[in-house]
A and B are shown apart, each in its own frame.
Chain A
């Protein structure tokens, strides 16, 4: 017998009087703050009708499966290795570089990413100096690859060359693995698009000292349960994207006995002085979980949001490998350092939004009131922000919970259908790079990810399901 013949619990869309009448009769009724989907765009509406209608059950099941795979993934950091050994594509040609964002040709690469690439060419000794490096790049003598297509995710400019030291995270049971460069910290770095002599020197230090030592430390202390630490870090004021200091300290705690045994003061000092050190570990682990959730035919879960300072690219779990791109967003509400203006600001860049695809970062911002206060928001604003993110997500995480919100799970599994319908995208708190001088980070702000590539993605998914 129908349960509704015994007990009615109503969701009301439209005339509020209908909900009032139900409540007057003693039954629960929740009113939806309804507005025309996709601002009433008939083409988007037709796509959404297909994806909630004839394909609705298929997509719902696929999305549940994608989220359960993301949630089941338990990436362990098993070592720090030379990139070429873990990322075969880098080693398969004479001069190859990986970069953040969707694939791009050299002529369209933004200024900060060009500087990072030139520094990587110098670091690899493919050219004696930056001028020569630019000549190589101009001549097309360096092959460029999108990190996301080859197992790597990088923050900001996200450049990775064969000799760089990278974290290796994997879930051996699920057969997923991903790498990310060691985080360089502030100042003259590749990730901020400076790429000076100090940056290259630091890469050598990573390659020759810090990387090998970290690999031995992990071998001695055991693999790092990245999400286990992240779940604890959420209770220590981290949201794991803009801020991961607490979690970074947990990593140091994990490695501390090893440092005592093996020494390594210079590496320890570097880690202790870099409050973003954990960021790329989170990214590599998040990429593992994102990969685990991929290849679920029919899923509208966003598996990838990735920017290169020129384009933003989106992928869906149901259409793995297929990019939907558009212009990268400007970083809004930017707080800039003295002497810089919005005209100096480069566009949004980096692979770090992979963190938002698995339920951390912008999905967990209520864990980090300090991040909110940085932009003049309140703790209550962060709670509202998490709630807004839940509007576009398939589920709530079981493993990432927010003590500040009485232990609710973070939203996980961005549903592209809901993004296209509501026009709500993940906000990513990110650094602002200089767009032409190599001044590096000139501020920080919020990058609202663009909706149009997501709209294209849902249309692509509907077509794929029609054809199936």
Chain B
């Protein structure tokens, strides 16, 4: 109580600046007086006149604060000392500021930065991710072509520093309500997702929204995390972190089926009593320390504690009745969605394509993931650029053996601004002759507005389902004629 002083040795600041700092401190609640000055004999004498005795030299800054409450005075001393140096400005001042050249300087200009998004070419991505970890930031690593040893080293560093390394090849995440990469606008809720599959996470989040619940966080880990080489380092790290998140009540794991050993280690990542639900797309059963579902739809609705909507009836219109015995063509932009469709189709019909282990014979049932590398060289992802799909749809118009077309339309930040506007004309021409079924992976809050996209597709004669699984089942019934 009373006067407190602080001497900062060997520090010079102009007297105008010091007086300005003192003025600011005096205006603080609980501060009854303040002086900030260089320790010249004249200044020390003036302080002495106020009853403040301090040992300082002319090259020292003296801060003196009079406050009834010690803590208030101490805080004022800190404020005054911090005021001696201005923070680096990230802009907004009178001087035009050039953009930062590295993460380090960008972070200096935006204090509190905590997530780095990295989508630079793969050969440089490892360096940028390491730099982010060194700076104490989580990493969203969209870049591909990062080697397995680099991925392991990055994830081990992340684990040791309690930071997330989401990727490489991670397309989707959501932290603190902010979607990163390709992500839909969803309501916040109690389900925390850890996902090794980008569109799988998007579909799960949209289905949770449809089920009336919402998502706390989505932690993407990249497609290789659960492989034997990487061993699920970040999947477990994500699960541990979500366990400590008060907004998360249920963990939803989204992936292709990991090996049984890895499944076991995932169970050990969380303490008993934490509810864990898995959507391991294509899961064929086996021991697991938590409940596992074989589709995104089942997993998401189980996590929400709700039943999926009833399967829509097959239309009785000619294109649908004529599809029986003819071929199915599924053109996917989302890899997880293609895989989910395959999980539903393969037990009943022989399917070829780049998501199966069979090469595609001409004219059979075909499921293609157009997000795979062979279709994306030199062009953006099919969620952004519809060219490849439109070309294939144009070819399909001339295929007499074709009975049904199945596709996904993925919305959200990062995706094409209005995919239905480009797809509807082509799909409309096809729908006059063949069954066309689509699922819009999106929400009403998305920039593209799922309701508007669905309406445009329906107007073109497309049957639109509430989930990707429902679309695949409907397509299967069409070609089987059941």
Contacts and interface: CB of A to CB of B under 8 A. Distances in A.
A53 interface: yes
Interface string B206-230: 0000000000110000000000000
A11 B137 contact: yes
Interface in B167-189: 175-181, 183, 185
B62 to A, nearest CB: 14
A72 to B, nearest CB: 9
B105 interface: yes
Given A228-B10, A407-B17, A401 B84 contact: yes
A57 interface: yes
A36 B124 contact: yes
Contacts of A7: 112, 114, 176
Given A11-B106, A11-B137, A401-B84, A384 B247 contact: no
Identify which of B97, B127, B217, B447 gathers the most chain A CB atoms within 10 Å of its CB. B127
Given A2-B245, A10-B116, A18-B119, A407 B85 contact: yes
Contact of B89 (A5, A391, A406): A406
Contact of B143 (A14, A32, A57): A14
Nearest to A227: B10
Interface stretch (A44-52, A142-150, A175-183, A207-215): A44-52
B98 A384 contact: yes
A399 B10 contact: yes
B90 interface: yes
Nearest to A24: B413
Contacts of B408: none
Interface residues of B, number: 81
A399 B126 contact: no
A231 B108 CA distance: 23
Interface string B229-271: 0000000000001001111000000000000000000000000
A422 interface: yes
A2 B162 CA distance: 9
Contacts of B120: 13-14, 34
Given A14-B143, A228-B12, A32 B99 contact: yes
B147 to A, nearest CB: 11
B118 A13 contact: yes
Interface in A1-48: 1-15, 17-19, 21-22, 24-37, 40, 42, 45, 48
Contacts of B9: 74
B142 A14 contact: yes
Given A9-B112, A12-B117, A13-B120, A4 B175 contact: yes
A14 B117 CA distance: 8
Given A11-B115, A407-B17, A30 B109 contact: yes
B429 to A, nearest CB: 31
B138 interface: yes
B101 interface: yes
B28 interface: no
B179 to A, nearest CB: 6
A391 B101 contact: yes
B61 to A, nearest CB: 10
B124 A45 contact: yes
Contacts of A22: 117, 178, 180
A390 B108 CA distance: 10
Interface string B5-47: 0000111111001000000000000000000000000000000
Interface in B117-151: 117-121, 123-124, 126-128, 130-134, 137-138, 142-143
Interface string A406-437: 11110000000010011010000000000000
Contacts of B117: 10-14, 18-19, 22, 29
Nearest to B160: A57
A240 to B, nearest CB: 13
Contacts of A422: 101-102
B349 interface: no
Contacts of B134: 52, 56-57, 59-60
A1 B246 contact: yes
A396 interface: yes
A341 interface: no
Nearest to B138: A4
Given A25-B413, A31-B99, A399-B10, A408 B116 contact: no
Contacts of B124: 36-37, 40, 45
Interface string A207-237: 0000000000000000001011001100100
B305 interface: no
Interface string B66-92: 000000000000000000111111100
Given A4-B115, A30-B113, A407-B17, A380 B95 contact: yes
B153 interface: yes
A18 B99 contact: no
A15 B126 contact: no
Interface in B318-372: none
B176 A32 contact: no
Contacts of A8: 114-115, 175-178, 180
A272 B179 CA distance: 65
B222 to A, nearest CB: 16
A27 to B, nearest CB: 5
Nearest to B10: A74
Contacts of B17: 403, 407
A52 B157 CA distance: 11
A91 interface: no
A69 interface: no
Given A14-B143, A18-B119, A32 B96 contact: no
Nearest to B137: A11
B110 interface: yes
B116 A33 contact: no
A276 to B, nearest CB: 22
B315 interface: no
A405 interface: yes
A409 B85 contact: yes
A10 B90 CA distance: 14
Interface in A45-95: 45, 48-49, 52-54, 56-57, 59-60, 74
Interface string A336-376: 00000000000000000000000000000000000000000
24 contacts: A2-B241, A3-B114, A9-B114, A11-B117, A13-B117, A13-B119, A15-B119, A18-B117, A21-B179, A22-B117, A30-B113, A32-B103, A52-B127, A52-B131, A53-B153, A74-B10, A232-B12, A391-B102, A405-B89, A405-B95, A407-B85, A409-B85, A418-B104, A424-B101
4 closest A-B pairs by CB = A14-B119, A231-B12, A56-B134, A21-B413
Given A48-B127, A407-B85, 15 more contacts: A1-B246, A2-B244, A5-B217, A14-B117, A15-B142, A18-B181, A32-B100, A49-B127, A53-B157, A54-B157, A56-B157, A399-B10, A401-B84, A407-B84, A418-B104
Interface of A: 1-15, 17-19, 21-22, 24-37, 40, 42, 45, 48-49, 52-54, 56-57, 59-60, 74, 225, 227-228, 231-232, 235, 380, 383-384, 387-388, 390-391, 396-399, 401, 403, 405-409, 418, 421-422, 424
